[in-house]
Chains A and B, each alone.
Chain A
Amino acid sequence: MKNILEIRNLSHAYDQAGSIIKDFNFSLKKGEIVSILGPSGIGKTTLLRIVAGLEDVMDGEVIISEKVASKKNFLLPPEKRNLGLVVEDRALFPHLNIEKNVMFGISHIQERESLAQEYLSLFKVADLSKKYPHEISAGQQQRVAFARALITNPDILLLDEPFGALDKNLKEELHEETKKIFKNKDLSVLLVTHDEEEAKYFSDRIIEFQEDKIFIR
């Protein structure tokens, strides 16, 4: 199976004082779900942002779909990487209703409305399509965020603590549903989490970030 994402000898630091990611190598296969596990401030989110093209790399390479996306002094912008991103605070656009939020990334497609309904139904929030983000619950917002990310048919889905703000029952319910959807759609997923249980349940592989060490399970 071919690699959809490859990270080669990646090093990154916020300042010259010290690197938070050093000489990191990693690959993600098509349809694989991998979790990056570790405590806060260890560089997990930074790694995700580097893959998304939201941060430059200081050294090393990021290769997406066999094309160099980032290396020193070079950055393919996020909008050209065909990725999906879901973050802990959902980042739904507050001025758009749910349907328009989901259609945001496919505004150039003619069948956008039917496609939006399809994805809203997939995540069980079709009846909320005319509501605004502040009018629905955190769990429902997270479902909308997943629908918005998946509707663009991304090569890789990046998840940054997507279940972090949810209570235990809701989290378990969403874990089950989303994992099923990801597997059905054969999606490649990179999940950042500090929750070991979540990582174990969700992933085919776990990369554990600890101070000065990276373990692959």
Chain B
Amino acid sequence: MRSSKIFSVWHGIPLFILLFFLAPILIILSSVFADYSENWSHIYEYVLGDYILNSLILVSGVSLIVMIIGSLTAWLVSNYQFFGKRFFEWGLILPLAIPPYILAYTFTGLFDSYGTMNEIARSLFNLEQNEMLFPNIRNIYGAIIVFSFTLYPYVYLICRTAFLNQSRSMFEVGRTLGLSQASIFLKLALPLVRPALIAGTMIVAMETLSDFGAVDHFAISTFTTGIFRTWYGMYDLTTAMQLASMLLIFITFCLVIERTSRKNANYSTIGSNFKPTQVTRLGSLGSFVCFFVCFIPIFIGFILPILEILNWSLRFNTSFFNEQFFSISLNTVLLSILSAILCTFIAMIINFSIRYKNSSVIKSINPFLNIGYAVPGLILAVGIVQLFVFLDNNILNSFELIFAYIIKSYALANSTYEAGYQKISQTIDDSARVLKSTGLNLLFRVHFPILKTSFFTSILLVTSEVVKELPATLILRPFNFETLAVSTYIYASEERMVEAAAPATAIILIGLIPIFFISQMIRASRLEKS
């Protein structure tokens, strides 16, 4: 006999996992109270201003562009019928398959002074060898373009949902009050989805601040490149951690805004007298304009880099699939799948504990476990190295790397499981418990088989996310161990772009997995509405 409120193993496991998840972050933050070295004084005096200014310019520029692209394309596909609309509904998220660092490498290959585009321009317009039609892209403005065109889908997705949930009646009233189509978008629809727009933009801001590969390739001094240089150049881990703490403060600021906005994201949405949006059929000119507006982001963020990688592949035709590529791919796939399985198991246990114990303590733990997605891979790596400073062999290094992947990807696995659990009626659990199925028996005899799809979806999604992760892998990988992301980075940093084609293609192909799932969800929501 027992009390239902007793502290059980189902409370203990989540608490233990929380402790592990937060440890690297707390270690980083604790560095604020450590002694400040001469390196810190040097950084403070000469480069910290650049880090802050560049990060702010980058985040502001990217935020502005993604807000425009994301909201405009979402508005068009939600409210108008035009040529290619069905494709654009999911096609607009294709750039998510390409990590910013790969877009940066391909853009360098395309727009450098001797890049593909300038070569084409020279042959077309008979330009001299030193003449260029396309400007140099390896600067902060180029980085803004790169981040904007890979990350806008975050804003697009959240805005599309918000627009679809706006009631038609509101726009009909707007029209009777004399508003044009453009004014309805600017004065009614857009202000009403403001929380969603801000939430999406904050995710983009966090991703931009977290990036290492693209800014490193474009030689822009930001926090992440600074942390990396301080650690690997000055061999000063404490100062690197102090810099990381500053970046964490920026990220936390974005995270708080994102969470608050997400809570308010429904304030304009479905009410009791909701009437779904009526799609307006457009004439040829309108249809062409909409097609063009939606096509450009996909062209820049997906088609153009794919074409450049194909171009590299053709030039590298003799040994595209060599032994080294297969060995690296195997490393990547094994490591990613192992991390994905562990991460999914943790998400399963936590969500089961919440459901089984219905405890407010466990429920309140879950949001803290989710914050890993917002913490840059580089910062996690620094924290984990400090946490396991006593570990020093290849197997244990792999453990550190898997640990970083799990913290970074937990939110993805958790959201998949949460969605799955929402579909199981509480009466299933009640019936099972009355039939004497409890604890692990309930988990493996009832929940696991019912949530099999969530389990495998989560493994696929986390795998594809882990494959793309660069900074954590770069720092935590065991000696002489390469993954697809690291291999792409090494080739690109040695300016051997053509050889980066094989690993980059593999990353993009694996990155298409979540796109497939999101496109299925979009399709399902379309069927529901019709």
Contacts and interface: CB of A to CB of B under 8 A. Distances in A.
Interface residues of A, number: 30
B450 A94 contact: yes
Contact of B431 (A49, A80, A91): A91
Contact of B427 (A74, A91, A95, A152): A91
A93 B441 CA distance: 14
Q: State the main secondary structure of chain A at its contact with B.
A: mixed
A60 interface: no
Contacts, number: 69
A79 B425 contact: no
Interface in A32-77: 49, 52, 54, 56, 73-77
Contacts of B436: 79, 105, 152
Interface string B1-20: 11111000000000000000
B425 A84 contact: no
B49 interface: no
A163 B180 CA distance: 54
26 contacts: A49-B430, A54-B430, A73-B3, A74-B1, A74-B3, A75-B3, A76-B1, A77-B4, A78-B430, A78-B433, A78-B434, A79-B435, A81-B434, A87-B427, A87-B431, A89-B427, A91-B425, A91-B430, A91-B431, A93-B432, A94-B450, A95-B452, A104-B432, A104-B437, A105-B437, A152-B436
Interface string B418-447: 000000010110111111111000000110
Contact of A148 (B3, B435, B445, B452): B435
B430 A87 contact: yes
Interface in A147-204: 148-149, 152, 158
A114 B438 CA distance: 25
Q: State the main secondary structure of chain B at its contact with A.
A: helix
A56 B4 contact: yes
A79 B438 contact: yes
Nearest to B424: A94
A10 interface: no
A77 to B, nearest CB: 7
B449 interface: yes
A77 B438 contact: yes
A105 B428 CA distance: 13
Nearest to A88: B427
B425 A152 contact: no
A28 interface: no
B2 to A, nearest CB: 7
Top 6 nearest A-B pairs (CB, nearest first) are A105-B435, A91-B427, A95-B449, A79-B436, A91-B431, A75-B4
Contacts of A96: 449
Interface in A116-152: 145, 148-149, 152
Contacts of A79: 433-438
A95 B430 CA distance: 16
Interface string B440-462: 00000110011010000000000
Contacts of B2: 75, 77
Nearest to A160: B427
Contacts of A85: 430-431, 434
Nearest to A81: B434
B437 to A, nearest CB: 7
Contacts of A74: 1, 3
A87 B433 CA distance: 13
